[in-house]
Structure 1
Amino acid sequence: MLEKSILRICKQTVKSNILRKYSTKYSIKLDEQVSHAIENNTYKPRKHPGIFKSNNISVPDNIVTSIHNVFQDYPLKAVCEDSKALVNFLYHRHPPAEDREIKEKQKEIENIIINKHAEGKEYDRNEKKNILSKYEPNIRNLLKTQLPQWSSINYTTYTALQYLVSRAAPEYAVLVRIFQELDERYPNFNPRTFFDFGSGVGTGTWAAKLLWEKSLYEYFCVDISSCMNDLADILLKNGYANKPSTVRGLFHRQFLPASNTQYDIVLSAYSLLELPSSNNRFETVLNLWNKTRKFLIIVEQGNSSGFRVTNEARDFILNLPDEKNTAHVFMPCPHDKPCPRFLNDNTPCNFEVSYRTLPLLGSSEYHRERYSYVVLQKSPRNENDVSWPRIVRPTLVKSKHTICRLCTSKGTLEEVIFTASKHGKTSYHCARASKWGDLLPITIEPKS
């Protein structure tokens, strides 16, 4: 019993020392307006303005009805089963290897072959060339296995249906979550025009219509697959080609228009990895930025590949030399500096949303989807804008403390352990109520 008591006291001492170490690392100050509102019972800490709730998002009932009508002519069960391979392929997709990467890897393989073949001898250039010519098939095979392989997808009618049943629900939920926060954080925003690059089955249109149906009068959708465009069009006609569309001002095209007509919202969702090189991605992103009047929104899957191309596009726009096209990150970053997640570790900066699967083969289920995104606003950052830190990992709620991993306005990642004794009850309860992806209404200053 004595040994157990000593062990318990030691654990408590170590735990308190750890808490003391981290909790005194920063000076935490709750936003004055938020503090005043909570003190006057305007709202509770669990409903502070940094929280954005969007639970269990479902595809609209009229779209679900359209999907059922479309599948009167197709084998639904077979399509659902075959879609699993497509989902797996999309999730594990890498950006295509660049010429520089290929040359570096080839040089590395060639050096290994020469060193193994030489056994201490010195070869001149011609001798090395003769040796490598014998191993040319091996070098090609090694390049294929050691570099990410990329291939385009030909979206036929059947492939488009596979994409619909497997990806429509999670992608729609992600876009609704992003659009909802944009709508809340930018009050009185009434976009008139919407441009969707890589529009697919139309999830961007569904989400934009949900938020801004009263103000939008033009939806311009571009997808290189005519089968995708046809399916997206039919889904907005109750599942029948001869019915009128339920969306006014809807246009579908296969290619980006040459004109620089600008749109209030420009969206590229799950499309950049469809492009065959970084140069193609940069050209496309610049084209989309030139078409942007207010917001450019880029969304990809929340894995390493999706985060990489999202961050690549973010940095590209922020570093454009044209002063007329001054940009800043509206969401999710509270800063325009290089992404600290990309610089400091090998995990993606991503977020999570809960959604309901399509009720096609029985009842729907609740799943979660991870995504990486950036919303770029075409204007300089206002010095008076709220720059609260963003919670970039799940909040760890313990018995008497709460751990928040934050991305701050200084472009750093910080881990703050909140306790009521050190930071005050109001700040502590705000932290406990906040979730992954929320903003925390505080300012963080390192103590001297």
Structure 2
Amino acid sequence: MRNLEQRTKALTNYLWSRKRPMETADLRRKAQKLEQKLREENDVLSSLKEDNEMKLQEKVVSALRKTTYHWEELNYSDELSFVYMAARMDGVFAAVFRAMHEIQKRAPDFHPLTLLDFGSGTGAVSWAAHSIWGKTIKEYMNIDRSASMLALAERLMKGISEDQDVCIPGVYFRQFLPVSPKVKFDLVVSAFSLNDLSDYSQRVETVKTLWRKTDGFLVLVENGTKEGHQMLMEARDIVLQGTDKVVHDPREPYVFAPCPHHLPCPRLSPDRPLPCNFIQAFVPLPFSWNPPQKQEIFSYLILRRGSGELEQPWPRVTKPVLCRPRHIHVHLCCADGSLQHAVITPRKHGRDLYRCARNSQSGDRLPVLNPDSELDLGEERGYMAQDHKKNMDKDHS
């Protein structure tokens, strides 16, 4: 394939900058505001002639086209599927593996027998799950509407020889989800697929369907952008609010990770919404243009069936830990739904907690049950960012 390097970079940039499709109601409101603004600017009276009204409508449509994101559905042909594999398979594997590792670490007794991957693409989710629970998983159900993508994923599973069976036993490839509500899976995953749905109603119905299919854990992974994070928070609200008229499983959902609470995300403030994202380093596919190591910036959400009473509500580290002489700066998302900044010292908090915090990274949980009483907390302050950056640059140099 010609220009593969340029095409992989172009596809990666496009997928990273991709936004959700604008809803029809939002588009109408935007058109009404533009029309009102144009009328005021041109001092147009309501009793306009027909040709002037047509010109005004043309201006509104032209302005909408220039200022509105144009979402397009991606049709994965054989060629585009191969470009996607070269561009994204390794990063998807890294992000999904990191999310699954959270389950493996905190729920060691969880041994899934069945896996459902919605929007399976190149099959990276099955590879990641097999590397963690390969001894127990008996069925890997890969669902993708693109026949070309499914054929590529199956070919990757078989290896070089066409006659060879898939190297992971129990892998199946389908274009549609199982219809019966009785068919459930221990582990359900959707990675980088929600933005391929054309509107909010489709995302709602898809998330509800995936939750109905979930018997243990539901894992959702998206780009670590504002759009990706907001789609995950949409999904979180859909499941937690329980708007399903038909309840197929009475067990209540709870947020397993990364949120230590069920409250609204404190990063989604109306004034300055910020994505809750994480970074995973990985060794990329051995193409000549790839560096020895890359980083995947992603957001994820893990929901579990059950009450979650045995879970410790430890706060999660949301930014890189800043180590200074005899003290450490840690930014936390706490169980009360707030973002806090803590300064930890060995004298005040003990050497065990100090060493634990010093060796923590962004995305880790800090083993403190009551941060308000055990740590010196203060609201996060924006003015500290520049000083922190300067100090980090000094440390690296």
What TM-score do you get using the length of structure 1 for normalisation?
A: 0.79
Q: 1:234 is matched with which residue?
A: 155
Partners of 2:162 and 2:199 in 1: how far apart? 36
CA displacement at 1:295 relative to structure 2: 0.7
Alignment of 1:35-434 (within 5 A): 75=1, 78-118=3-43, 123-124=45-46, 126-127=47-48, 131-260=52-181, 261-321=183-243, 324-343=250-269, 345-361=272-288, 365-382=292-309, 384-434=310-360
Q: Is the 8 A contact 2:7 2:83 kept in 1?
A: yes
Question: Could you give the per-residue CA deviations for residues 354-408 of structure 1, whole angstroms, max 9, x where no partner exists?
Answer: 00111132775111111011000011221x3211110011111122221111111
Change in CA separation of 1:179 and 1:303 when aligned onto 2, cut-off 3 Å: same
Query: How many equivalent pairs are there?
Result: 368
Question: Could you give the per-residue CA deviations for residues 101-133 of structure 1, whole angstroms, max 9, x where no partner exists?
Answer: 101111111011100111xx7x33x43976442
CA displacement at 1:430 relative to structure 2: 1.5
Q: Is the 8 A contact 2:312 2:369 kept in 1?
A: no
Aligned partner (choices 363, 366, 370) of residue 440 of structure 1: 366
How much is the aligned-residue C-alpha RMSD, in angstroms? 1.9
Partners of 2:349 and 2:251 in 1: how far apart? 41
Partners of 1:149 and 1:207 in 2: how far apart? 33
One-letter amino acid matched to 2:276:
C
CA displacement at 1:137 relative to structure 2: 2.3
Question: Could you give the per-residue CA deviations for residues 157-205 of structure 1, whole angstroms, max 9, x where no partner exists?
Answer: 1111111111011110111111112111001211000000000000000
Partners of 1:129 and 1:422 in 2: how far apart? 77
Question: Could you give the per-residue CA deviations for residues 338-367 of structure 1, whole angstroms, max 9, x where no partner exists?
Answer: 111113632100011000111132775111
Q: Is the 8 A contact 1:79 1:161 kept in 2?
A: no
One-letter amino acid matched to 2:198:
P
Partners of 1:301 and 1:331 in 2: how far apart? 16
Q: Is the 8 A contact 1:110 1:132 kept in 2?
A: no
CA displacement at 1:411 relative to structure 2: 1.2
One-letter amino acid matched to 2:60:
I
Question: Could you give the per-residue CA deviations for residues 247-272 of structure 1, whole angstroms, max 9, x where no partner exists?
Answer: 11111111222122100000000000
Q: Which has the higher contact order (CA 8 A, sep 6+)?
A: 1
Question: Could you give the per-residue CA deviations for residues 15-71 of structure 1, whole angstroms, max 9, x where no partner exists?
Answer: xxxxxxxxxxxxxxxxxxxxxxxxxxxxxxxxxxxxxxxxxxxxxxxxxxxxxxxxx
Partners of 1:310 and 1:286 in 2: how far apart? 13
Q: 2:379 is matched with which residue?
A: none
| Larger Rg over CA atoms | 1
One-letter amino acid matched to 2:359:
A
One-letter amino acid matched to 1:148:
Y
Q: Give the gaps of 5 or more residues in structure 2.
A: 377-397
Q: 1:54 is matched with which residue?
A: none
List, as ranges, runs of 4+ consecutive aligned residues in structure 1 with deviation greater than 6 Å. none
Q: Is the 8 A contact 2:217 2:302 kept in 1?
A: yes
Partners of 1:204 and 1:93 in 2: how far apart? 22
**Fraction of identical pairs, as percent:** 33
Question: SS state of the match for residue 369, structure 1?
Answer: strand
What TM-score do you get using the length of structure 2 for normalisation?
A: 0.88
